[in-house]
């Protein structure tokens, strides 16, 4: 009897647990988002960002053959609106050398201005590029590493959003797992076979409690082109924290760290490159400073315009009022114009110099004549004195008269 009751109780308990499990799976299936829903939520989070004013410092550490190299850039500022954005950076190149870059991006073009300073002086250059990369047909990536574009520093030239990756590369959804009360979804992405991806795998972590923003990306099997060997690289990119926007309506990523490892990677492997972006100021959805998008090329700056990322449309010598003064079809035409200008300047300088030399020689000639005149008068007076002394000695006549010599007489002679 007891065995029968025990059997009935076990059966009831199993059915109850099984039913709860089925119900939990059903609820989970109903609440589990699709890949497209995750992409849409991620896009909505970024669409809610109306403005950003972000200052940040960069620290990059690289280890080569056991020797550590440190690069820092302390003055960086990114100003963003959906219509345009601006990025300025100042790099310390060492040995009293530095470089400043200023970039302005809108929906059509990217304008860049660069000044390199060293002991020889300043070198300025400018470029005008299309805003849409013609290869990937996506907008140029100008923002800091916020993992809005999960490919991050691997693909600097294009802005591949999470939705773009899901649509174009094979992707599967896994999870979730709970971390610090946040629900984390994992996306596994098969990368393309071309370099640098080399058919590797990408794992993307999306935080559901932080507006479905990407918080970590790991990419394996990268061919970074460090050598001719088949050595591969793993890169990890992670957001340090998420902060609330100034209107307290949305989350925004703050701080970025990436680490690169040579494969095969072990538990004791050390990264050969560590890159950090440390925010020094951050204002999201707040009023931007006046004139923050004022961008001008410098007068006499050489500005190159491209209609693709390699084909030159025109080369400009910049003038007043932020407009070109001269336009050239190629650098050869610019060189010929510069050569003619140098020759013209040389001839002008030569005639100016000739005039100065002639003027100075005229002064020199007149001064020399005056000196000669005074010398000749003195010489004649000396000879007159000698003649008078000789006459006195011979005849004792001190009234011997000699012709008077004047400056006018000398000039006449």
Task: Note the pLDDT tens digit of each residue in 201-245.
Answer: 999 999 999 999 999 999 888 876 655 556 778 889 999 999 999
Per-residue pLDDT tens digits for 111-133: 999 988 877 777 888 999 888 86
Q: Is pLDDT larger for residue 7 or for residue 338? A: 338
Q: What is the mean pLDDT of the chain?
A: 77
Hunting for tokens 């709860």 — which residue is that?
20
Q: Which of 210-219, 327-336, 363-372 has the lowest mean pLDDT?
A: 363-372
Kindly report which listed range (143-157, 274-288, 379-393) carries the lowest average pLDDT score. 379-393
Q: What is the pLDDT of residue 398?
A: 43
Task: Report the C-alpha gap between 232 and 46 in whole angstroms.
Answer: 33
Q: Which fold has domain 35-284?
A: outer membrane lipoprotein receptor (LolB), chain A (2.50.20)
Q: What pLDDT does 63 receive?
A: 75
pLDDT at position 20, please? 46
Q: List, in order, residues 6 or more apart from 225 with CB less than 8 Å away.
A: 195, 196
What average pLDDT does the segment 345-352 reach?
Answer: 57
- Give me the pLDDT at residue 62, please: 82
Q: Rounded to an integer, what distance in angstroms lies between the CA atom of residue 381 and that of residue 385?
A: 6
Question: Cis before residue 5, ω within 30 degrees of 0?
Answer: no
**Exposure string over 12-33, b if 16+ CB within 10 A, otherwise e:** eeeeeeeeeeeeeeeeeeeeeb
pLDDT value of position 405: 39
pLDDT tens for each residue of 262-280: 776 665 666 678 899 999 9
Question: Percent of the chain beyond pLDDT 70?
Answer: 67
Q: What is the pLDDT of residues 350-364, one digit of tens each?
A: 555 555 555 555 555
CA dihedral 309, 310, 311, 313 (to 10 degrees): 60
- Residue 165: its H or E element: helix 162-168
User: What's the predicted TM-score (pTM) here?
Assistant: 0.69
* 316: Cβ contacts below 8 Å, ≥ 6 apart: 302, 303, 304, 305, 324, 325, 326, 327, 328
Q: Which of 71-85, 133-147, 394-408 has the highest mean predicted lDDT (pLDDT)?
A: 71-85
In this prediction, residue 156 carries a pLDDT of: 55
- Tokens representing 102? 């200023």
Instruction: Yes or no: say if 402 and 381 are a contact pair by the CB < 8 Å rule.
Output: no
Strand runs (DSSP E) across 272-331, as ranges? 273-284, 302-306, 312-318, 324-328
Separation between Cα atoms, residue 40 and residue 18, nearest integer Å = 35
Q: What is the chain's alpha carbon radius of gyration, rounded to the nearest angstrom? A: 41
Residue 400's Cβ-side half-sphere holds a number of Cα atoms within 13 Å equal to: 16
Average pLDDT over residues 33-48: 95
Instruction: Give yes or no for a contact between 341 and 325, defined as CB atoms under 8 angstroms apart.
Output: no
């Amino acid at each position: 009897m007891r065995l029968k009751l025990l059997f009935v109780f076990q059966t009831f308990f199993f059915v109850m647990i099984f039913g709860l499990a089925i119900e939990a799976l059903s609820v989970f299936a109903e609440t589990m988002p699709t890949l497209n829903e995750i992409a849409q939520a991620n896009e909505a989070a970024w669409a809610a960002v109306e403005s950003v004013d972000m200052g940040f410092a960069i620290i990059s550490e690289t280890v080569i053959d056991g020797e550590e190299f440190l690069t820092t850039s302390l003055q960086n500022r990114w100003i963003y609106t959906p219509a345009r954005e601006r990025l300025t950076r100042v790099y310390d190149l060492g040995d009293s050398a530095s470089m400043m870059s200023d970039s302005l991006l809108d929906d059509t073009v990217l304008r860049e201005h660069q000044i390199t300073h060293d002991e020889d002086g300043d070198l300025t250059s400018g470029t005008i590029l299309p805003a849409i990369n013609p290869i990937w047909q996506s907008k140029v990536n100008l923002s800091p590493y916020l993992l809005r574009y999960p490919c991050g520093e691997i693909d600097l030239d294009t802005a591949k959003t999470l939705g773009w990756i899901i649509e174009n590369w094979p992707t599967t959804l896994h999870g979730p797992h709970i971390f610090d009360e946040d629900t984390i979804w994992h996306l596994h992405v098969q990368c393309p076979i071309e370099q640098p991806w080399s058919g590797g795998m990408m794992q993307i972590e999306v935080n559901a409690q932080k507006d479905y923003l990407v918080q970590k990306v790991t990419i394996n099997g990268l061919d970074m082109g460090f050598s001719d060997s088949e050595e591969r690289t793993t890169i990890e990119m992670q957001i340090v924290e998420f902060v609330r926007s100034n209107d307290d309506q949305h989350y925004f990523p703050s701080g970025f760290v990436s680490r690169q490892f040579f494969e095969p990677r072990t538990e004791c492997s050390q990264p050969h490159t560590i890159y950090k972006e440390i925010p020094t100021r951050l204002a999201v959805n707040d009023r931007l400073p006046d004139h923050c998008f004022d961008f001008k090329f410098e007068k006499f700056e050489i500005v190159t315009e491209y209609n693709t990322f390699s084909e030159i449309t025109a080369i400009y010598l910049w003038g007043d009022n932020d407009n070109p003064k001269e336009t050239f079809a190629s650098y050869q035409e610019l060189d010929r114009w510069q050569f003619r200008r140098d020759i013209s300047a040389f001839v002008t300088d030569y005639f100016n110099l000739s005039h100065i030399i002639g003027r100075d020689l005229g002064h020199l000639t007149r001064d020399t004549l005056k000196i000669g005149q005074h010398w000749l008068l003195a010489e004649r007076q000396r000879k007159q004195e000698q003649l008078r002394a000789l006459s006195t000695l011979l005849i004792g006549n001190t009234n011997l008269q000699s012709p008077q010599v004047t400056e006018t007489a000398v000039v006449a002679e």
